[in-house]
């Protein structure tokens, strides 16, 4: 149980960490200043959740700490879903990724807040409150762009279509989650995404083949490596460096 | 031994620590400061006109055997960068008050709520130009947000995310001043 719990916590922690790093890349390049502040805040929330989860995962395995997990693993060792490692693309892609992620994290954290493990439940309860803002933000942008100009509508639909196969990975079989009794929030996700896309005058893409990737098993896209190179460069060049 | 959880439940119940903060602040420069008073007087690094007790971040202060002190804090947001500064400030404040052996514990359950911000804390936030949150989360849909500069209720939200993790950015339509507002949670 403890090994499974550690693996599970590491997976959702890696989702948050990689999402934080991708969002952080956008700092000072958003279309308007308010959006810059918003995306940086969301990145900070994701990083905060990631630190708590990785710290706990390290304690459960009795090996290392949040820093060794974040900075000393290669791509094969990361357990995040591939959705969060994809490049930011245009603003529509950034928003669609956040929408898919937050629509999954929000109900998942709500479930985990009632999980028998007190530590994980506490982290999930706090992170869930923040996730609600992320979901609301992404949904509002999706609606504004989808129901906006012809160009913004086209780009938003393109982003949804492009990311759709990766979103399916959120709901593929995860043996670790199954063993500790956590089922992914499929119904909540479908309902939230369906309602948001409808209001945005966008259509739900047809079912797509899931790419032969499985982030939870360490099978990633080529995009994760360069992301980690940048994130880990300081720690690798100066082991144990502190601010 | 008293656990952090039971001590916090017994001692704070949401307001007990905050109620001590006035006297704590008044006593901050006198000798013989208690550990509770010293910890209660620590100010928030990002909102330096309110103390961590007034914000409800400080949950418990327990004096243990051998002069050791355990301070329990609940961060506002998971990624709040002020937390590491608060930990250090608490250690320094307690060392100055004669308690060099301090353990700062973080407790996440229950998660921090704006309902824990004391009356004094709300007043000080408003005085400093930061609109305080509604007293309870249940009134969120019916509240009027008043401009902390001119008092007008004619205000609008510019962005749900502000300059700190716990604030949103608002603007007053009457005096046109932008202002931060602590988000309910």
**What tokens were used for B106?**
């973080």
Confirm or reject contact between B5 and chain A (CB < 8 A): no
A83 within some domain: yes
Question: Closest-CA residue in chain A for B111?
Answer: A126
Q: Which residues contact B178 (CB under 8 A, 6 or more apart)?
A: B158, B169, B170, B171, B172
Name the residue among A38, A45, A122 with its Cβ closest to that of B160: A38
CA A190 to CA A45: how far, in whole Å? 24
Q: Please state the rounded mean pLDDT for residues A3-10.
A: 97
Is the pLDDT at A47 greater than 50? The verdict is yes
Residue A41 resides in a domain: yes
Provide the number of CB pairs (under 8 Å) joining chain A to chain B.
68
Q: Is A243 contained in some domain?
A: no
Comparison of pLDDT for A206 and A53, the residue scoring more:
A53
Q: Is the CB of A48 less than 8 angstroms away from the CB of B110? A: no
What is the pLDDT confidence band of residue B10, given thresholds at 50, 70 and 90?
very low
E strand or H helix at B95, and its extent? Answer: helix B82-96
**What is the domain count for chain A?**
1
Question: Which chain A residues are closer than 8 Å to B78 by Cβ?
Answer: 45, 48-49, 51-52, 123, 126-127, 130
- pLDDT category at B17 given cuts 50, 70, 90 is very low
The mean pLDDT value for B33-58 works out to 95
- What pLDDT score was predicted for residue B137? 67
pLDDT score at A207: 83
For residue B31, what pLDDT is reported?
A: 47
What pLDDT score does B15 carry?
A: 34
Q: What's the pLDDT score for residue A166? A: 95
Alpha helices by DSSP H, listed for chain A, are 2-25, 33-61, 66-71, 91-112, 118-146, 150-168, 175-180, 186-199, 224-237
* Tens-place pLDDT, residues B115-141: 999 999 999 999 999 999 988 765 555
pLDDT at A172 over 90: no
pLDDT in tens, B51-73: 999 999 999 999 898 889 999 99
- pLDDT given for residue A54 in this prediction: 98
- Cβ contact A130–B77 (<8 Å): yes
For residue B16, is pLDDT > 70? no
Average pLDDT, chain B: 82
Specify if A223 maps to a domain: yes
Percent of chain B with pLDDT over 70: 79
- What's the CATH code of the domain at A81? 1.20.1260.10
Looking up tokens 């403890």 gives A2
What pLDDT was estimated at residue B98? 93
Question: Residue A48 and residue B79: Cβ atoms within 8 Å?
Answer: yes
| Chain B residue with the nearest C-alpha to that of A243 | B84
CB contact under 8 A, B111 and A46: no
Q: Output the pLDDT for position A27.
A: 86
- Output the average pLDDT for chain A: 95
What per-residue confidence (pLDDT) applies to B141?
56
Q: What is the ipTM of this complex?
A: 0.81
Determine the pLDDT at residue A1: 62
Judge whether B159 and A34 are in contact, CB under 8 Å.
yes
**For residues B120, B122, B126 and B129, what is the CA-based torsion angle, rounded to 10 degrees?**
110
Cβ within 8 Å, pair A34-B169: yes
The torsion region of residue B76 among left (phi > 0), alpha (psi -120 to 50) and beta comes to alpha
Rounded to an integer, the average pLDDT of A92-105 is: 98
- Note whether A42 and A23 are within 8 A (CB): yes
Contacts of B111 in chain A (CB under 8 A): 122, 125-126, 129
In a domain, A47, yes or no: yes
Average pLDDT rounded to a whole number, residues A155-183: 95
Interface test with B, best of A20, A48, A125 (most B CBs within 10 A): A48
Assign A73 a pLDDT band (cuts: 50, 70, 90).
very high
Name the 3-class secondary structure at A178.
helix
Residues spanned by the domain of A230: 2-237
Q: Do A45 and B111 touch (CB under 8 A)?
A: no
In the predicted model, is pLDDT for residue A214 greater than 80? Answer: yes
| CATH 3.30.300.130 residue ranges for chain B | 4-116
- Could A48 and B78 be called an inter-chain contact, meaning their C-beta atoms sit closer than 8 Å? yes
B156 touches chain A (CB under 8 A): no
The percent of residues above 90 in pLDDT, for chain A, comes to 88
Of B112, B161, B185, the CB nearest to A41: B161
- The pair of three-digit structure tokens given for residue A241, joined into one six-digit string: 């460096």
Task: Give the pLDDT band of residue B26 (cuts 50, 70, 90).
Answer: very low
| Chain B residue at shortest CA distance from A122 | B109
Question: Residue B11: pLDDT band by 50, 70, 90 thresholds?
Answer: very low
Q: Does B109 touch chain A (CB under 8 A)?
A: yes
Chain B residues whose CB is inside 8 A of the A37 CB are: 159, 161-163, 169
pLDDT on residue A29: 84
pLDDT, one tens digit per residue, over B151-183 is 999 999 988 898 888 899 999 999 999 999 998
In chain A, which residues touch B (CB < 8 A)? 34-35, 37-38, 40-42, 44-49, 51-52, 118, 121-123, 125-127, 129-130, 133, 136-137
Which of A2-16, A168-182, B22-36 is the least confident region?
B22-36
* CATH code of domain B4-116: 3.30.300.130
Band (pLDDT 50/70/90 cuts) for residue A242 is confident
């Amino acid at each position: 149980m403890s090994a499974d719990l550690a693996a599970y916590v590491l997976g959702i922690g890696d989702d948050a960490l990689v999402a934080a790093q991708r969002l952080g890349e956008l700092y000072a390049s958003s279309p308007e200043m308010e959006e810059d502040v918003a995306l940086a805040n969301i990145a900070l929330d994701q990083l905060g959740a990631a630190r708590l989860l990785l710290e706990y995962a390290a304690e459960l395995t009795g090996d290392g700490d949040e820093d060794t997990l974040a900075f000393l693993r290669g791509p094969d060792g990361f357990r995040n879903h591939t959705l969060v490692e994809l490049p930011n693309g245009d603003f529509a892609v950034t928003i669609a990724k956040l929408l898919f992620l937050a629509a999954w994290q929000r109900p998942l954290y709500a479930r985990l807040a009632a999980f028998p493990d007190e530590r994980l439940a506490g982290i999930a309860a706090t992170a869930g409150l923040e996730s609600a803002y992320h979901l609301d933000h992404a949904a509002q942008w999706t609606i504004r762009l989808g129901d906006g100009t012809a160009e913004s509508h086209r780009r938003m639909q393109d982003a949804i279509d492009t990311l759709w196969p990766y979103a399916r990975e959120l709901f593929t079989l995860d043996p670790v989650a199954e063993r500790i009794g956590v089922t992914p929030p499929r119904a909540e996700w479908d309902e939230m995404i369906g309602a948001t896309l409808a209001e945005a005058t966008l259509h739900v893409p047809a079912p797509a083949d899931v790419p032969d990737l499985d982030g939870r098993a360490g099978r990633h896209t080529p995009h994760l490596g360069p992301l980690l190179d940048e994130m880990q460069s300081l720690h690798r060049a100066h082991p144990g460096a502190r601010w | 031994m008293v656990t952090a959880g039971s001590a916090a439940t017994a001692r704070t119940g949401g307001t007990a620590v905050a109620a001590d903060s006035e006297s704590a602040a008044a006593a901050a420069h006198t000798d013989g400061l208690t550990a509770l008073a010293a910890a209660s007087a620590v100010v928030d690094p990002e909102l330096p006109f309110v103390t961590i007790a007034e914000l409800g971040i400080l949950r418990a202060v327990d004096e243990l055997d051998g002069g050791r002190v355990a301070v329990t804090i609940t961060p506002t947001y998971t990624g709040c960068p002020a937390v590491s500064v608060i930990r250090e400030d608490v250690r320094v404040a307690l060392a100055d008050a004669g308690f060099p052996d301090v353990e700062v514990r973080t407790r996440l359950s229950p998660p921090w709520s704006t309902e824990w911000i004391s009356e004094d804390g709300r007043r000080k936030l408003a005085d400093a130009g930061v609109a305080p949150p509604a007293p309870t989360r249940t009134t969120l849909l019916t509240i009027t947000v008043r401009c902390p500069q001119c008092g007008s209720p004619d205000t609008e939200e510019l962005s749900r995310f502000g300059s700190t993790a716990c604030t949103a950015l608002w603007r007053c339509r009457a005096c046109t001043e932008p202002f931060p507002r602590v988000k309910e949670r």
